[in-house]
């Protein structure tokens, strides 16, 4: 069995991996799952990540650990434009965000070129997963009725909530912050995910499920 190191951007992703994903992998008899917050500058971790930092962090893990799979959990929303073939991805798939993100992942895999590396970019961002169900909204503080209706509409808008758009005011994280002003990502995000349940998230978020399925296969590979 191989271990799994997941490169993350910040504390919310770290909590989600530790509290939600680790038990899921443990149920599949896979116990060595770790979140590695990417170093963005000397002595600092988390926050916006340039591609050079992303690549450096990935290669450092791959070179120093021989029996692990390295992957990433980073947002497509506001992804740095220095990622490989970023502009080509837009031109090749101007209207299909799923294909665009897949194009980018393939470009990253080609650039880093290591058989134990599986890049993953969350479409459109971590908060997309939180629109898999309305069940988590009861854990959000003081939601006016009109705002709750807007949140529920967002849940129902797409069969796959990963497709909620990435506009500057309509991205999933922006919807939550605009409709629930007291929303705190690092505190409420993992709570919502737990209330919704990973099974519900997997039933609606196809790309996310495909990623986890692939990781399990690779971790069990001899």
Contact 12, 35 (CB under 8 A): no
Q: What is the pLDDT of residue 48?
A: 73
Contact 69, 101 (CB under 8 A): no
Structure tokens at 128: 């997309």
Contact 220, 1 (CB under 8 A): yes
Q: What is the pLDDT of residue 165?
A: 80
- Report the share of the chain in percent with pLDDT over 90: 80
Q: What is the pLDDT of residue 193?
A: 96
Q: For 65-143, where are the alpha helices, taking DSSP H only?
A: 86-92, 97-112
Q: What is the pLDDT of residue 139?
A: 80
Contact 74, 9 (CB under 8 A): yes
Structure tokens at 158: 């797409």
Q: What is the pLDDT of residue 167?
A: 77
CA angle 67-70-74, nearest 5°? 165
**Placement of tokens 């003081």 in the chain:** 142
Mean pLDDT value of segment 181-193: 91
Of 68, 83, 77, 82, nearest to 35 (Cα)? 68
Q: What is the pLDDT of residues 68-100, one digit of tens each?
A: 999 999 999 999 999 999 999 999 999 999 999
Mean pLDDT value of segment 113-125: 97
Q: What is the pLDDT of residue 34?
A: 97
Using CB atoms within 10 A of its CB, is residue 145 exposed (0-12), middle (13-18) or buried (19+)? exposed
Mean pLDDT value of segment 120-148: 92
DSSP state letter for 50: -
Q: What is the pLDDT of residues 32-58, one digit of tens each?
A: 999 999 976 555 555 678 999 999 999
């Amino acid at each position: 069995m191989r271990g799994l190191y997941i490169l993350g951007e910040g504390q919310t992703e770290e909590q989600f991996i530790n509290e939600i994903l680790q038990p899921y992998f443990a149920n599949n008899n896979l116990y060595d799952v770790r979140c590695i917050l990417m170093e963005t500058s000397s002595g600092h971790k988390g926050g916006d990540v340039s591609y050079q930092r992303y690549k450096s962090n990935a290669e450092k893990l791959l070179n120093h650990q021989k029996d692990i799979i390295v992957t990433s959990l980073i947002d497509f929303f506001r992804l740095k434009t220095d990622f490989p073939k970023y502009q080509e991805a837009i031109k090749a798939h101007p209207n299909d965000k799923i294909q665009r993100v897949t194009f980018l992942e393939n470009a990253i895999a080609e650039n880093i070129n290591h058989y134990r590396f599986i890049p993953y970019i969350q479409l459109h961002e971590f908060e997309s997963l939180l629109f898999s169900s309305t069940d988590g909204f009861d854990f959000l503080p003081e939601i006016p009725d009109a705002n709750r209706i807007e949140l529920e509409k967002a849940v129902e808008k797409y069969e796959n909530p990963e497709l909620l758009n990435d506009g500057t005011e309509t991205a999933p994280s922006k919807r939550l912050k605009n409709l629930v002003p007291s929303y705190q990502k690092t505190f409420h995000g993992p709570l919502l995910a737990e209330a919704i349940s990973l099974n519900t998230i997997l039933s609606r978020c196809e790309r996310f499920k495909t990623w986890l399925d692939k990781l399990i296969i690779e971790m069990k590979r001899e």
